[in-house]
Amino acid sequence: MNTRLKELLTNWRVITLVIFLIFALISIQPQIFGNDGVTIRSVEANSSAELAGLQNPSAKLTPLAKEKIISINGETVKTEDDYYRLTDNLKPNRTLRIETDDGFYNLITKETNGIVNVGLKVYPAPTSNMKKGLDLEGGTRVLLKPAEKISEDNLDLTISNLKERLNVYGLSDVVVRSASDLAGDDFILVEIAGVTEGEVKDLLAKQGKFEAKISNETVFFGGKKDITYVCRSADCSGINPQRGCSKIGDGYTCSFFFAITLSGEAADRQAQLTDKLTVLSEEGGSGYLSDDLILYLDDKEVDSLRIGAELKGRATTDIQISGSGSGIDQPDAVNDALQNMKRLQTIIITGSLPVKLEVVKMDTISPSLGKEFLSNIVLVGILAILSVVTVVLIRYRKIKIVMPMVFTIVSEMVLILGFASLVGWNLDLAAIAGIIIVAGTGVDHLIVITDEILKGEVISDWKKRIKNAMFIVFGAYLTTLAGMLPLWFAGAGLLKGFAFTTIVGISFGVLIARPAYAAIIELLLNE
């Protein structure tokens, strides 16, 4: 027995599976004993929390890495209720000492509109690094109203534009749909998982009219008609190396830049306009034109760019856009600048909305699948595995076969969840559907492998038996892959998520977990 165990643990297929499992667990980091405290979802601008130095969590952070409040004024915060009990009914101009897993903050409470609000939005601390989607965690629901009556076509355009904007922003879990009340007024309803309300407001309500003007005449607008390409890679966008960051007053300012390519038409317009300008010569030798290229966002000036004398009357298509961001310290300013850059890029790519939108209502909504959903699904999953075990046990009557089977199926699920945590994929209905199919086809393939090995009948060669089994498994794998790939590329929303989880899951299964099962079975049954 011991030699067999040794053989098992030195088999490279088994070792590969174990290594991948360890990586998956490291990436999920399940907090088996629960996780006390409340995690910060968002920090309101200019609130006492922000003034004390608390920051909006970056969307890139994994759920467990986000800042978590542990105690307030020395009292431990374990649940959301604790938090609201300790921050309710505060009086203005008092000190509130908040302890997070990053350090201590002293907040001075202040009154706005008669209410004392520290400016934090929190939620119960997550118990693993898995991100939950809108269906499972709920999110922010925003009702937007067009500032004026618009046609159905324009409403559709606004919706697809908003979707694109939110997608460029990196929010995959977004629902945007049209709505109307019984009086016939049009609205747009947006539901988003896990973002700060300020960000949403900024992005949704701004019309995003981007214009570049020379001597008050428009050279180009944001959108695909005038701008054919917007650079978003590191070599032609980011913090401007020439201007960099500088200390101004109490804080820092950093400037960003990115390159864009104009359409021929827009370049010609620029040539005509610059031709009228005069050259101002500077002491350094190289001169500038008498007027600047001024960038406007929603009719507000964001930046002005000096135009080199050599560009007078020339139709250049490559232009560098710049802007800036500020913050208390340098990293903060860099962050702000990059965020502004991303927003500007988004607006330039998607163009302006046909109409201005007003935020009518904004509230936090519970998940459509209910709170008990996840625990119920886990229970159902366990019962389903038990019933599979029963059927397999009746058929093969060997515990030696059933145990490795259960181990393999569970490993496959851990691998999928680990991968989802690693890439920050939202666990939603699509992912659950994907996991169901991976587990289902997983059992199918394990039965094929078992039957081929048991019923090798005339074939005495073990290698040949496994080869026969893997032939069928690979055939089914490649065919399913061929079926899912088009859905991944062409499908929208849910289908994309489903195809993605399925492809990732069956790939892990067929390439890592199922070969390990074959190796284990071979060792256990080969008397």
Residues 70-99 that bind other proteins (CB under 8 A): 80-81, 83-84
Nearer to other proteins, 134 or 519 (CB): 134
In the region spanning residues 231 to 250, those forming contacts with other proteins, defined by CB under 8 A, are: none
Does 365 bind other proteins (CB under 8 A)? Our answer is: yes
- Backbone dihedral angles phi then psi of residue 212, each to the nearest 5 degrees: -115, 130
Residue 445 DSSP SS3? helix
Number of residues that bind other proteins (CB under 8 A): 88
Does 406 bind other proteins (CB under 8 A)? Our answer is: no
Choose one: 27-35, 41-49, 319-327, 441-449; the region binding other proteins (CB under 8 A). 441-449
Does 495 bind other proteins (CB under 8 A)? Our answer is: yes
Residue type, 407: F
How far is the C-alpha of 317 from the C-alpha of 268, rounded, in Å?
9
Choose one: 44-52, 251-259, 359-367, 514-522; the region binding other proteins (CB under 8 A). 359-367
Residue 78 DSSP SS3? coil
Q: What is the four-CA torsion angle of 418, 419, 421, 425, rounded to 10 degrees?
A: -140
Among residues 66, 68, 209, 445, which is the contact residue for other proteins, using CB under 8 A? 445
Left, alpha or beta for 292 (phi > 0: left; psi -120 to 50: alpha)? beta
Compute the least distance from the CB of residue 115 to other proteins, in Å.
10
Residue type, 298: D
In the region spanning residues 194 to 233, those forming contacts with other proteins, defined by CB under 8 A, are: none
Compute the least distance from the CB of residue 319 to other proteins, in Å.
32
39: nearest Cα among 78, 3, 7: 78
How far is the C-alpha of 193 from the C-alpha of 134, rounded, in Å?
5
Helical residues (DSSP H) of 52-114, grouped into ranges:
80-87
Among residues 58, 320, 376, 526, which is the contact residue for other proteins, using CB under 8 A? 376
How far is the C-alpha of 132 from the C-alpha of 179, rounded, in Å?
26
Task: Give how far Cα 138 sits from Cα of 67, 76, 78, 368, 371, Å.
Answer: 20, 26, 21, 7, 10
Q: Which residues contact 271 (CB under 8 A, 6 or more apart)?
A: 313, 314, 315, 316
Nearer to other proteins, 111 or 275 (CB): 111
Does 392 bind other proteins (CB under 8 A)? Our answer is: yes
Compute the least distance from the CB of residue 373 to other proteins, in Å.
5
How far is the C-alpha of 165 from the C-alpha of 204, rounded, in Å?
9
Does 373 bind other proteins (CB under 8 A)? Our answer is: yes
Residue 214 DSSP SS3? strand
DSSP codes joined into one string, 338-370 = HHHHHHHHHHHHH---SS-EEEEEEEEE--TT-
Choose one: 16-24, 173-181, 249-257, 282-290; the region binding other proteins (CB under 8 A). 173-181
Among residues 271, 429, 524, 525, which is the contact residue for other proteins, using CB under 8 A? 429
Among residues 5, 423, 483, 526, which is the contact residue for other proteins, using CB under 8 A? 483
Place of tokens 């009154």: 111
Among residues 271, 359, 422, 487, which is the contact residue for other proteins, using CB under 8 A? 487
Does 432 bind other proteins (CB under 8 A)? Our answer is: yes
DSSP codes joined into one string, 471-486 = HHHHHHHHHHHHHHHH
In the region spanning residues 448 to 477, those forming contacts with other proteins, defined by CB under 8 A, are: 448, 451, 455, 457-458, 468, 471-472, 475-476
Does 378 bind other proteins (CB under 8 A)? Our answer is: no
In the region spanning residues 279 to 308, those forming contacts with other proteins, defined by CB under 8 A, are: none
Does 102 bind other proteins (CB under 8 A)? Our answer is: no
Compute the least distance from the CB of residue 111 to other proteins, in Å.
16
Nearer to other proteins, 374 or 422 (CB): 374
Compute the least distance from the CB of residue 354 to other proteins, in Å.
17
Compute the least distance from the CB of residue 505 to other proteins, in Å.
10
Choose one: 28-36, 263-271, 323-331, 443-451; the region binding other proteins (CB under 8 A). 443-451
DSSP-assigned letter for residue 295: E
Among residues 51, 294, 384, 523, which is the contact residue for other proteins, using CB under 8 A? 384
Nearer to other proteins, 291 or 428 (CB): 428
Nearer to other proteins, 148 or 153 (CB): 153
Q: Are 224 and 180 in contact (CB under 8 A)?
A: no
In the region spanning residues 303 to 342, those forming contacts with other proteins, defined by CB under 8 A, are: none
Angle at Cα 511 formed by Cα 507 and Cα 512, nearest 5°?
110
Q: How many CB atoms lie within 10 A of CB 187?
A: 18
Does 358 bind other proteins (CB under 8 A)? Our answer is: no
In the region spanning residues 124 to 163, those forming contacts with other proteins, defined by CB under 8 A, are: 138, 141, 143, 156, 159-160
How, if at all, do strands 251-262 and 288-289 pair?
Answer: unpaired
How far is the C-alpha of 450 from the C-alpha of 460, rounded, in Å?
15
Nearer to other proteins, 302 or 476 (CB): 476
How far is the C-alpha of 54 from the C-alpha of 38, rounded, in Å?
14
Nearer to other proteins, 1 or 492 (CB): 492
Nearer to other proteins, 26 or 378 (CB): 378
Compute the least distance from the CB of residue 176 to other proteins, in Å.
7
